Structure 1
Amino acid sequence: MSTIPQFTHLLVLPHLKVHNANAVSSPMTHGFPSITAFLGLMWALERKIRAAGLDLEFGAVGVVCHDRQEQTTDSGFVKSFRLTRNPIQRDIERKLIDRDGKTSTPSIVEEGRIHLDLSLVLAVNAGPWDQDAQQRDLATILDLLQGMRIAGGTLLPATQVPTSRRRPWLANLTGDSDDQASEFRKLCAGLLPGSALVARDDLIDQRLKALKAASRGATRLDAWLSLSRINWHHDAKADDGKGAWQHDRAKLGWVVPIPVGYAALGALHEAGSVPNARDATTPFRFVESLYSMGEWIGPHRLHSPNDLLWYADSRPDEGLYRCRNDYRADTTR
């Protein structure tokens, strides 16, 4: 297993207003963009700032959500995405002709959207960096970010949000352990109110152990599915003597199923050997999603930057390309 890359500062990009981000994070999950989207944004932003002459490295990213509005119907028990029929030709009224010669309108493309108010925390590895250079570089980074997409969504202009809330800032982690702890506490306080996404792979092991106690044939998929839903059971020992229905979510917290990367379905193909690939200069591989569990927690409950940050763990020889987070739950609370 790889470890989080070295970093000297934490760059906070606060209260980014993202319009119509992708709410379908994988073939089996929805409700918030995949963490892979934010790692991809980090790498794309690093390429842009290096092209602009900045000598900075981004190694990990943290995500804190302050508000969200998934674009779904508001009525009924079963919710559906609010879908649009986007014109695929210049004339929106033009009809399509099928193979039988009949006319039909363009079909609706299934896509989920969500409006987000989120803060991104980037782990930055930099050399000597004085205050004047920091301010210039932060202005350049924010300017480059304005022209990028975030998880498929559009970043609204900074003029639509109070300037003080949108201004990027840095936490310096080059001091001793006490200074670093103080800087991180200030960072977490500045991200409130909000919820940080962390990994909870340990919950799958715990649930699998409980399921195997009842059935030896239980698998990790069974454990993941069990954690992804609300499981009710009848408690015959309730105080009223009549029994009561209980669910298993009371002690879990805000736990959610999440995609955490990709697993290879076959061998690596040479660059340009697969027709219609997006990039003809990079080796190509067919993959499927990897799943785990995550938890949304308040930033004030984080103890170190490693609790917040996600980083890439790529092992091509094993066919694994996944995102890691080193959060460890506090079992004493």
Structure 2
Amino acid sequence: MSGCPEFDYLLVVPHLRVQNANAVSSPLTHGFPSMTAFLGLMWALERKTRAAGLDLAFNAVGVVCHDHQEQVSDGGFVNAFRLTRNPVGKDGKTAAIVEEGRIHLELSLVFAIYSERWLQDPDASAADIATVTKLLDAMRVAGGSLIPRSGSGWSRHKPYAIAMTGSEGDRQTQFRKAKMRMLPGFTLVARDDLLDKRHAELTADNPSASRLDAWLSLSRINWRYEAPGADAASTDKAAWKHDRAGLGWVVPIPFGYGALGPTHAPGTVTNARDATTPFRFVESLYAVGEWISPHRLHTPEQMLWYADSRPDDDIYRCRNDFHAVPATDVAALIANLE
């Protein structure tokens, strides 16, 4: 897929509280759930809305995190997950501990919606949003449970739809208002460009450096010792410096799956979860993401994630169309919008 699917509305479900979401996002990363979990939530919600008789197509999803609390020990240099002790087995012996990472989250979900009904009858959106919210409240988010909305504080966090059907200027105005309502918070965007840049830097010194080396380099803080300048007049002093300056809040993320073998016919793989769908063994694919404040986004497409599955190429991945804009281009963009 060459770009984000078309949509006419943004459905914003603000400030959802999720308890005990999955914090183990892949075999190599932990913390915030993988974006594949939110795409799965979007598809499951779309199926439920279709079953309820609603004419809604969910084409992409964005996530804004307002608060998080990973369930880990807070003492010592190395943190460990806070695990639960399960009840004893039938034989009276202690059950084995299965390490599970959990995290409490406060999220705003942004769904890219296409609906012929909303285009023909904009007043119908209010009833549909109420139905979608009711369906969503009964679902799990990244394996976590939604805490029911209650109290006077939730009255100002009602779900709402943003029409993106006008001119480009109208779309920018509507999105500018919406992203300010999502503050304070941070949204995850893809930064494949940083991975390409770091790989080029590594290969300049070591031609055999791989993209895995570049990903690992971006996943940690790399310190180096810089000697004082050779010039006698130089005022530079020897110091340890790291390579995170100017990078922002960059994190390693899983962004999809790569096939390990051919596709198997439905029902031919023992213990498969779904016996009516073709089955394929896969492994996680990794990239680099960045947490940024929503007010730095210029278009809704920069926030949204969508599926880009290519079975013939053995790839099932999530994609995001964020592109870093130079400061000079940002000034020009703001001038054109004013």
Q: TM-score range by the shorter chain?
A: over 0.9
Counterparts of 1:1-333 in structure 2, within 5 Å, are 1-87=1-87, 89=89, 95-96=92-93, 105-129=94-118, 130-159=121-150, 162-237=153-228, 242-332=237-327
Alignment check: 8 A CA contact 1:17 1:155 kept:
yes
- Secondary structure, aligned partner of 2:136: helix
Query: Distance between the aligned counterparts of 1:162 and 1:270, measured in 2?
Result: 51
Asked if structure 2 preserves the Cα contact closer than 8 Å seen for 1:69 and 1:115, the reply is yes
Contact 2:35–2:255 under 8 Å retained in 1: yes
Q: Distance in 2 between matches of 1:323 and 1:184?
A: 23
Report Cα offsets for 1:213-237 as digits up to 9, x if no partner: 1111100000000000000011213
CA drift of 1:86 comes to: 2.1
CA apart distance, 1:161: 7.1
User: CA, structure 1 residues 48+128, in 2 after alignment: closer, same or farther (shift >3 Å)?
Assistant: closer
Q: Deviations over 1:63-108 (max 9, x none)?
A: 100000000001111100000022375x7xx623xxxxxxxx1111
Please give the alpha-carbon distance, in whole angstroms, between the structure 1 residues aligned to 2:221 and 2:193.
Answer: 18
Give 1:159 deviation, angstroms.
1.2
Shift of 1:317: 0.6
1:13-57 deviation line (CA, Å, top 9, x unaligned): 100000000000000000100000000000000000110010100
In the alignment, what sits opposite 2:334?
none
1:303 & 1:241 partners in 2: Cα distance? 39
Q: Contact between 1:7 and 1:124, CA under 8 Å: does it hold in 2?
A: yes
Q: Which residue of 2 aligns with 1:99?
A: none
In the TM superposition, residue 211 of structure 1 has moved relative to its aligned partner by 0.3
For 1:270-316, what per-residue CA distance to the aligned partner results, in whole angstroms no more than 9, with x for missing partners?
Answer: 00010100000000000000000000000000000110000000000
The 1-side partners of 2:88 and 2:43 are apart by: 31
Q: Distance in 2 between matches of 1:285 and 1:247?
A: 42
1:88–1:38 Cα change, 3 Å: farther
- Displacement of 1:241: 5.1
Q: Normalising to structure 1: TM-score of the pair?
A: 0.94
Q: Which amino acid aligns with 1:225?
A: L
Q: Shift of the alpha carbon at 1:318? A: 0.7
Question: What is the percentage of aligned positions where both structures have the same residue?
Answer: 63
TM-score by structure 2 length? 0.92
Residues 236 and 160 of structure 1, relative CA distance in 2, 3 Å threshold: farther
- C-alpha displacement at 1:190, in angstroms? 0.8
Alpha carbon RMSD of aligned pairs, Å? 1.5
| Distance (whole Å) between structure 2 residues aligned to residue 242 and residue 168 of structure 1 | 55
Deviation at 1:133, TM superposition (A): 1.3
Query: Do the aligned residues in 1 keep the contact of 2:117 with 2:124 (CA within 8 Å)?
Result: no
**Aligned equivalents of 2:104 and 2:96: distance in 1?**
24
Residue matched to 1:102: none
Q: Name stretches of at least 5 consecutive residues in structure 1 with no aligned partner.
A: 97-104
- Give the gaps of 5 or more residues in structure 2: 329-338
Q: For 2:170, give the aligned amino acid.
A: D
Instruction: Tell me how far 1:4 sits from its aligned partner.
Output: 1.4
